[in-house]
Amino acid sequence: MAGEGIERVMQYLAKLPGLGPRSARRAALHLLKRREALMLPLADALREAAENIQACGVCGNLDTIEPCEVCRDHRRDDTRICVVEDVADLWALERAAAFNGRYHVLGGLLSALDGVAPEDLNIEPLLVRAGEPEVTEVILAMDATVDGQTTAHYISDRLAGRDVEITRLARGVPVGGELDYLDDGTLAQAMKARRSG
């Protein structure tokens, strides 16, 4: 139906998260109709990103500069490192403006199903960073899943004996959450972690 070049664009677009063949077709048509205003700038931006963006050698964040903006920022608190699974989690915490310390991206979680072992993750550099004299707290901000918590326990073990406090994110009722709609596990966790006041 469409020419070979357009088909190729559609095939690549269909590989993106959230896009199936039908929406990829719509996106390809949209781009072709806005060739100058959208398609060429997008192609340039993609090429530039592919050529310049790299994982930060310190924390694992993605940026065009080495070390990344977050690691260069002198206003940040050097005493705390927040350990996250993925860059998307780092971005989520930055969006929330809830943390002003340093980050460390693991690049995944220990998973028996996917065959991810400790040596496949960015754990050794974390141990080195946690050993620096200014670091006093390591925050394990992993998913509240079996894999997430298995990874957190593993890192906690590896950090044991060092002079740093190891903390974790709280689990419980989300903001705007109604008790009636919460799953049993979350409710049990919230009850266990209840606080006075």
23 interacts with another protein by CB under 8 A = no
d(CA 152, CA 84): 10
146 interacts with another protein by CB under 8 A = yes
Considering beta carbons, is residue 23 or 122 the nearer one to another protein? Answer: 23
d(CA 173, CA 138): 24
Residue from 68, 111, 112, 75 nearest 90 by CA: 68
Considering beta carbons, is residue 43 or 146 the nearer one to another protein? Answer: 146
Residue from 196, 94, 101, 180 nearest 139 by CA: 101
The string over 31-63, giving b where at least 16 C-beta atoms fall within 10 Å of a residue's C-beta and e elsewhere, is beeeeeeebeeeeeeeeeeeeeeebbebbbbeb
| CA distance from start to end of the chain | 66
- What string of DSSP letters covers 133-148? TT--EEEE---SSHHH
Site string for another protein, 60-99 (x = CB under 8 A): ----------------------------------------
* Residue 39: DSSP 8-state: I
150 interacts with another protein by CB under 8 A = yes
Segment lying near another protein (by CB under 8 A), choices 64-72, 96-104, 129-137, 183-191: 183-191
Considering beta carbons, is residue 60 or 148 the nearer one to another protein? Answer: 148
153 interacts with another protein by CB under 8 A = yes
* Dihedral pair phi/psi, residue 101, rounded to 5°: -100, -155
186 interacts with another protein by CB under 8 A = yes
Segment lying near another protein (by CB under 8 A), choices 72-80, 83-91, 120-128, 184-192: 184-192
Contacts of another protein in 114-133 (CB under 8 A): 114, 117
Minimum distance of another protein from residue 41's CB (angstroms): 27
Q: Tell me which of 61, 149, 159, 164 binds another protein, using CB under 8 A.
A: 149
**Between vectors from CA 58 to CA 92 and to CA 122, what angle results, nearest 5°?**
75
Residues that bind another protein (CB under 8 A): 17-18, 20, 112-114, 117, 144-146, 149-150, 153-154, 156-157, 183-186, 188-189
